[in-house]
Amino acid sequence: MTDDTGASGALLTRRGLLGAFAATAVCAAPTFSKAAGFLRGAGDVRTLYMNNARTGETMKTIYWIEGKYIGEALKETNFFFRDWRRNEVKGIDNRTIDIIAATHRLVDATEPFLLLSGYRSPATNQMLRSKGRGVARNSLHMQGKAADLRLPSRSVRQVARAAASCAAGGVGKYTGSNFTHVDCGQVRAWGR
Q: Which domain holds residue 122?
A: 14-191
**The pLDDT of residue 43:** 62
The pLDDT tens digits of the residues spanning 39-64 come to 555 468 999 999 999 999 999 999 99
Q: Can you name the residues that pair with 117 across neighbouring β-strands?
A: 148
Total number of domains constituting the chain: 1
Entry pTM: 0.77
In a domain, 74, yes or no: yes
Q: Helical H runs in the chain?
A: 14-22, 32-40, 71-80, 94-106, 122-130, 156-165
Q: Is the pLDDT of residue 147 over 50?
A: yes
Amino acid making up residue 162: A
In a domain, 163, yes or no: yes
CATH of the domain at 160: 3.30.1380.10
